[in-house]
Structure 1
């Protein structure tokens, strides 16, 4: 059974929790990458197969040495330096891999968590250990990116970090 990702929770007030990390919101499509027996499938947050929409991401993960994994991330397209959901929409509804490539819209999988690796559930590991595992095991492909994250000091609210 494929693990499900944690979902963001809306909060209205700044908060601080010791040991938490904070990541920038991306404008893309949430995507689980599931690799079993050398073949990667990409699944949307609702479980829809989106492999045909983003074949280059699946191929980049197929080429990785690791197998038996589930990675949580966001497929993104860029408009200049920023992620752009409106640009990504040109790929989301296309299920034919060749047609998706012909759009010319470059996509990347910003991978921010490893839920399973080597067939083992990793969700009980501390998040920083999972981040280190991601950086060690899933590298070298242009379509795979590891978004930056921040740890906050108690005297700095999230809104102050965003402003910087």
Structure 2
């Protein structure tokens, strides 16, 4: 029984892979997790190898009671809200010590009863994983993550249901620990919205980040900073336009390194989601709303 195995990672792509050589899974918005079950106990490791077993007691208990001899299962721990996984809700539950909504979606089997399954083709590993879950009677909070053959249809569904995206995987590929290769490809959905610029972080000849707010009725609510998406030319142009704005009478941002401005410019921002605290996750600047 090996120790922690570095997980395989996915390469970001713009579109789903096509053809019979590929299968497609949901891209969950949670914590990547590796479950280890043996006669020495049941443990759950994070993507970087931290032991978070005590943070997921219901999942550990379900795996420990399944009668497994040796198994290493790769998956994602999530909280589902409506029809989608919600990272903010997962973080909130962890902070509150609440475990009843947490689920472990298992999508790969790396080791079973003394056998290293990583050289085995993906579809065979998934078949063994499904059989293992059915044979042992595993159920919620441990669930099998199924797949589809049509990546375009799955991605279209992901956009409609506001999932984080999908992962396209080579059906015949081995599991490559610690590798980020094209045999696993992640395709993300995203949200786009216009936000008022309420401040910025100056940098040499440009800006380091924008601070933005969402208009809610007549008020503005601060939603965080945007620190990517600027070319050097765009950064310099933004700096000139922001320097020309007066300081606001009421500041939404007041830290020393942030220069607050009147919210007269509107930024187009692409982002993944909103945290439990109401801040944008993975925002990227896409331009100014010139209208």
Interval of TM-score (by shorter of Structure 1 and Structure 2): 0.7 to 0.9
How far is 1:15 from its partner? 2.7
Superposed displacement of residue 143, structure 1? 0.7
Between the aligned partners of 1:46 and 1:125, the Cα distance in structure 2 is 24
Match of 1:31 in 2: 33
Distance across 2 between alignment mates of 1:61 and 1:105:
15
Q: Secondary structure at the match of 1:24?
A: strand
State the partner residue of 2:115: 120
1:110-163 deviation per Cα after TM superposition (whole angstroms, max 9, x unaligned): 0000000102110111111111111111243211111220123xxxxx344321
Distance in structure 2 (CA, Å) of the matches to 1:109 and 1:60: 10
C-alpha distance in structure 1 between counterparts of 2:139 and 2:63, whole Å: 8
Aligned to 1:67: 69
State TM-score, norm by structure 1: 0.83
Aligned residues: 152
Question: Contact 1:29–1:76 at 8 Å: present in 2 too?
Answer: yes
Change (3 A) 1:132 1:160: closer
Name structure 2 gaps, 5 residues minimum: 158-291
What is aligned with 2:52?
50
Distance in 1 (CA, whole Å) between partners of 2:118 and 2:19 is 19
Select the residue among 138, 154, 170 that pairs with 1:161.
Answer: 154
Matching residue within 135, 144, 149 for 2:147: 149
Q: Is the 8 A contact 2:58 2:100 kept in 1?
A: no
Alpha-carbon distance in 2 for matches of 1:84, 1:90: 10
**Which residue of 2 is the match for residue 10 of structure 1?**
12
Structure 1 residue aligned with 2:197: none
Q: Which residue of 137, 140, 144 corresponds with 2:138?
A: 140
Identify the structure with bigger relative contact order (alpha carbons < 8 Å, sequence gap 6+).
Answer: 1
Relative distance call for 1:109 and 1:134 in structure 2 (3 A) is same
Tell me if 1:106 matches 2:101. Answer: yes
Q: What TM-score, normalized to structure 2?
A: 0.49
Runs of 4+ in 1 over 6 A off after TM superposition: none
Alignment counterpart, residue 40 of structure 1, candidates 26, 42, 46: 42
Task: Give the CA deviation at 1:17.
Answer: 5.0
Greater percentage in helix:
1
**Unpaired stretches in structure 1, ≥5 consecutive residues:** 153-157
Separation (CA, whole Å) in 1 of partners of 2:156 and 2:119: 33
Which residue pairs with 2:80 in the alignment? Answer: 78
Higher strand share: 2
Structure with max Cα Rg: 2
Secondary structure of 1:115's aligned partner = strand
User: Helix, strand or coil for the counterpart of 2:33?
Assistant: strand
